[in-house]
Chain A
């Protein structure tokens, strides 16, 4: 206690009751906790950046607890709640977390200081699981501290009693802010905050965040933005913990050329688990998690308690794993980003990251999941699954040592989320367009919103925003004589409430375990719920196919309404689910470091022998490009001609490049047949000899890779791209054009009578500048198509293409070529495919 006060003598002393409580726990208030308290007391909004285990959550709540304790017992409204006499002065603090489970857990943890110090504070949560009666009571008689999620905040704001409920608000705490702001949920949250700033001008904010690249951007998020210039919250940075010890697994086994299974390192991973108390094994995709979990149990001779955790598993199942973890009953958990965030689970003393780390900040956050005592270093082992991943792991370790951050920049607020918010505002109370526009621009992501875009969005919410004014009589909101927009029918509000939120998952389908049936027998109904898989995955299966899910090998028995029925199978060669979930692209920052590493043979000494030899042979056979150059190799193989390039811009950007490049090759009559992309490279093959045509100066690589491919070629491709249609679908749902749920009927998309693909086609033809198409294009720039990154790459490599015409496969190209047949060979589902399938049948029939 004393040293801290000396160090920070402007800080207000902790009230005695708090000082005693800290002492009783054997704790000492940390510097950042006191600093935050002082700033909050001075009425400042603050961003606190602290590592996990730094007492971040307590720091966030400390100002509120102190204020509430000092408010003392000056009862204003005495209310009988039956058993006890409750005192309410209205809602004081609103806490918002990205995870429902986190809100519930924090509430539990807050009860400890509240009870031990005997503070007159009522803490409650409000999530999707809160019963209706409690929700209604919370509006009438709010707790002092309410813990909730961005979606629930939107719902509360869309009700008529929002001004009453939030009028007393003194503070908003935003937890895991670094994670919230990267998605449309962050947009929604920012708009909710903007509303709160109007309803309750006196409140301040506290943002809690892991370390990010640009803290100033988060500081802007926390306070209302002025019409010109920018405002920022104060920044408090907690002292970093001990430097983590991160190593790369130096495998004794042969390092695979490609693939993501890390099967070769299983024994070594298992040995690490055996020698540690509790290990978190992070992987990048759910299918990797399923695979690794299976394999670890196969090797589990000691019967160690090893569990599985990922986002598709049933919630109850996940909760059981988390509880067992907290109770110290597990030796290891194989998990995806589902455990990136959230509550501290027990005493993790080792983090193993299997596969590519993808980003420095992301890796640092994962490492932070181990060892929550700040003074001891966290321990982490990186397990690359293939040779390229070795390079990525190597540069990630260096980046972690420098504490280099590569979190993405703050988003520009999406228009589909804005549309949802505007409807919500009208559901709350009628609004004046001018006022709402000013209110929205206070939200950092929307501070640059043009008035014309705002008006177009209001028009969209009202009547669909169509050039053909056909829907005036079907309007959802209408301008009244008083100049205010209001909803046209209470039903509009009811439907808004059923469809609020920005998380549009791929269509998921429930998986139920049933007993196997004999052929022809009726499938028994019911059965235990295992979790959910993407609908399109099931569409690729035939009845009787096997796949791995929830840690078991399952057989596809039947599709009954909205559920898949499966039985246990003893098959040994299952199809593994090809989940999309969790495919983050390699960060631009790490990509640049990998390119730099490749260009510097001196630095290869730090690499395992197998990898170094591989690079040396590449140098001898072909070339390794300078850091800013793009290497393009061409070579013939098995009657086809290959073009392989190495942009290192992530699979998504490479896929888009592949689509556009094949169009151009087609036009150059090089007859491309297909392409395959991985995180590092792109390979295109066809019947035309590219190298020959380049040698004759008939084709130029500079022209082939020219930025103008992002013009007409991109437009033409977007017209039919399935990825673009998927992007559009999620915008249409968020903006409320398509409703997923109707009052009284919990319909799922399977029964939706309208396909968003058809809407996309029609809209594109008739109104290409429609606001939803613009929203979808904005998403495509950074989402599934990663067009922005591709554009930056094309501009970077202008004039810097290094062409190597080889007479056979180069060592560097082997990994991506090995993906052929393993990864989907891209190309949009097309007539060619149908023609091929039809021809194949003819061949079969004739032979």
Chain B
């Protein structure tokens, strides 16, 4: 672990305990389980730009490279044994085939010497060729279950919802991606460069957590900031 990661780990504010398991919430939008050497990222939505382009909106083709570069920094910092991509790793089923050569190469380099688990998502329900790693719908490790769609089960880490929270203070509002979690389950922020978000005050979150008794851990520049969901503004 690099010094930067070490500092994050030692700062208590970044620690989230889920079903008794201490997890490090990295403000860059990833989750690190030190005990298992496991790095988790959700909703990469790779090739989203080209997916839009195919449908007539010529968004910049740089999103995949940007997302992968951010991921490689995290990997360099934590040197994890295993990486879990929590589903919707590609924006659509054709994404893996559209992946550019240099992006494919950087993915290969990141995978070298470690396990890589692609969890299937609603955008990418089928295993794909040419992107390495292994494919599964659900991954269970110790007390935790990793899957794309949140079900609300105990010890579940999921994605899909792209949580975003809005805080207002002194007449100004800040909106950031966030981890939404209580003591037993968590929804991770989307990691992809082109992914938008859903406000944690949306009914989807209240349904999942039962009430508003969960916490939004907002991604700051160098740490996460935790606020009770009730304190967050709706859209």
- Any chain B CB within 8 A of the CB of A599? no
Q: Is the CB of B220 within 8 A of A831?
A: yes
Residues of B within 8 A of A762 (CB): 60, 62-63, 66, 193-194
Q: Is the CB of A476 within 8 A of B56?
A: yes
- Any chain B CB within 8 A of the CB of A693? no
Q: Assuming the A-B contacts A834-B167, A834-B174, are A474 and B225 also in contact, with contact meaning beta carbons closer than 8 angstroms in the complex?
A: no
Q: Assuming the A-B contacts A765-B66, A766-B65, are A464 and B60 also in contact, with contact meaning beta carbons closer than 8 angstroms in the complex?
A: yes
Q: Which of A468, A495, A543 has the most chain B CB within a 10 Å cutoff?
A: A468
Q: Assuming the A-B contacts A474-B53, A766-B60, are A559 and B235 also in contact, with contact meaning beta carbons closer than 8 angstroms in the complex?
A: yes
Q: Whose C-beta in chain B lies nearest to the C-beta of A471?
A: B53
Residues of A within 8 A of B195 (CB): 758
Q: Is the CB of B171 within 8 A of A824?
A: yes
Q: Is the CB of B169 within 8 A of A837?
A: yes
Assembly CA distance A491 to B54 (angstroms): 13
Interface 1/0s, chain A 815-847, versus B by CB < 8 A? 000000000110101110111111011000000
Nearest Cβ on chain B to A701's Cβ, whole angstroms:
29
Assembly CA distance A495 to B56 (angstroms): 9
Q: Is the CB of A837 within 8 A of B173?
A: no
Assembly CA distance A539 to B171 (angstroms): 11
Which of A471, A753, A827, A840 is close to B61, meaning CB atoms less than 8 Å apart? A471
Q: Assuming the A-B contacts A762-B193, A825-B170, A836-B170, are A476 and B60 also in contact, with contact meaning beta carbons closer than 8 angstroms in the complex?
A: no
Residues of B within 8 A of A829 (CB): 172-175
Q: Assuming the A-B contacts A831-B220, A833-B169, are A464 and B59 also in contact, with contact meaning beta carbons closer than 8 angstroms in the complex?
A: yes
Nearest Cβ on chain A to B57's Cβ, whole angstroms:
6
Assembly CA distance A770 to B60 (angstroms): 10
Nearest Cβ on chain A to B189's Cβ, whole angstroms:
13
Assembly CA distance A543 to B234 (angstroms): 9
Nearest Cβ on chain B to A612's Cβ, whole angstroms:
35
Q: Is the CB of B172 within 8 A of A833?
A: yes
Q: Is the CB of B62 within 8 A of A739?
A: no
Assembly CA distance A232 to B192 (angstroms): 53
Q: Is the CB of A841 within 8 A of B227?
A: yes
Residues of B within 8 A of A471 (CB): 50, 53, 58, 61
Q: Assuming the A-B contacts A831-B220, A833-B174, are A765 and B169 also in contact, with contact meaning beta carbons closer than 8 angstroms in the complex?
A: no
Assembly CA distance A464 to B59 (angstroms): 7
Q: Is the CB of A834 within 8 A of B62?
A: no
Assembly CA distance A841 to B222 (angstroms): 20
Residues of A within 8 A of B61 (CB): 464, 466, 468, 470-471
Which of B194, B196, B234 is close to A559, meaning CB atoms less than 8 Å apart? B234
Nearest Cβ on chain A to B137's Cβ, whole angstroms:
24
Nearest Cβ on chain B to A766's Cβ, whole angstroms:
4
- Any chain A CB within 8 A of the CB of B166? yes
Q: Which of A474, A495, A770, A830 has the most chain B CB within a 10 Å cutoff?
A: A474
Q: Is the CB of B59 within 8 A of A830?
A: no
Q: Is the CB of B57 within 8 A of A492?
A: no
Residues of B within 8 A of A464 (CB): 53, 58-61
- Any chain A CB within 8 A of the CB of B12? no
Q: Is the CB of A759 within 8 A of B56?
A: no
Nearest Cβ on chain A to B36's Cβ, whole angstroms:
29
Which of B65, B100, B166, B220 is close to A539, meaning CB atoms less than 8 Å apart? B166
- Any chain A CB within 8 A of the CB of B108? no
Q: Which of A734-781 contact B (CB under 8 A)?
A: 737-739, 752-755, 758-759, 761-763, 765-767, 770
Q: Whose C-beta in chain B lies nearest to the C-beta of A542?
A: B233
Interface contact tally, CB-CB below 8 A: 125
Q: Assuming the A-B contacts A468-B62, A753-B196, A758-B196, are A737 and B57 also in contact, with contact meaning beta carbons closer than 8 angstroms in the complex?
A: yes
Q: Is the CB of B193 within 8 A of A476?
A: no
Q: Whose C-beta in chain B lies nearest to the C-beta of A475?
A: B58
- Any chain B CB within 8 A of the CB of A130? no
Assembly CA distance A836 to B104 (angstroms): 42
Q: Is the CB of B167 within 8 A of A766?
A: no
Interface 1/0s, chain B 61-76, versus A by CB < 8 A? 1110110000000000
- Any chain A CB within 8 A of the CB of B168? yes
Assembly CA distance A770 to B65 (angstroms): 17
Assembly CA distance A492 to B57 (angstroms): 10
- Any chain A CB within 8 A of the CB of B84? no
Residues of A within 8 A of B65 (CB): 766
- Any chain A CB within 8 A of the CB of B226? yes
Interface 1/0s, chain A 534-570, versus B by CB < 8 A? 0000011011000000000000000100000000000
Q: Assuming the A-B contacts A762-B193, A765-B66, A766-B65, are A474 and B58 also in contact, with contact meaning beta carbons closer than 8 angstroms in the complex?
A: yes
Q: Is the CB of B62 within 8 A of A835?
A: no
- Any chain B CB within 8 A of the CB of A618? no
- Any chain B CB within 8 A of the CB of A127? no
Residues of B within 8 A of A840 (CB): 169
Residues of A within 8 A of B222 (CB): 831
Q: Which of B164-205 contact A (CB under 8 A)?
A: 166-176, 193-196
Q: Is the CB of B59 within 8 A of A754?
A: yes
Q: Assuming the A-B contacts A470-B50, A559-B234, A762-B62, are A738 and B173 also in contact, with contact meaning beta carbons closer than 8 angstroms in the complex?
A: no
Q: Is the CB of A492 within 8 A of B56?
A: yes
Assembly CA distance A831 to B170 (angstroms): 13
Q: Which of B166, B168, B218 has the most chain A CB within a 10 Å cutoff?
A: B168
Q: Is the CB of A834 within 8 A of B66?
A: no
- Any chain B CB within 8 A of the CB of A463? yes
Interface 1/0s, chain B 14-57, versus A by CB < 8 A? 00000000000000000000000000000000001010111011
Q: Assuming the A-B contacts A464-B53, A754-B194, A765-B66, are A825 and B171 also in contact, with contact meaning beta carbons closer than 8 angstroms in the complex?
A: yes
Residues of A within 8 A of B57 (CB): 737-739, 754
Q: Is the CB of A837 within 8 A of B194?
A: no
- Any chain A CB within 8 A of the CB of B129? no
- Any chain A CB within 8 A of the CB of B112? no
Q: Assuming the A-B contacts A468-B61, A841-B227, are A474 and B54 also in contact, with contact meaning beta carbons closer than 8 angstroms in the complex?
A: yes
Q: Is the CB of A540 within 8 A of B173?
A: yes
Q: Is the CB of A754 within 8 A of B52?
A: yes
Q: Assuming the A-B contacts A753-B196, A758-B196, A831-B221, are A841 and B231 also in contact, with contact meaning beta carbons closer than 8 angstroms in the complex?
A: yes
Task: Report the 10 A-B pairs with minimum CB-CB distance, sorted nearest first.
Answer: A464-B58, A837-B169, A766-B62, A470-B61, A829-B174, A474-B53, A834-B225, A831-B220, A831-B221, A471-B53
**A–B complex contacts, Cβ < 8 Å, 5 sampled:** A471-B50, A476-B58, A492-B56, A761-B193, A837-B167
* Further 7 A-B residue pairs, CB within 8 A, beyond A464-B59, A539-B173, A765-B66: A737-B58, A737-B59, A739-B57, A754-B59, A766-B60, A829-B173, A835-B220
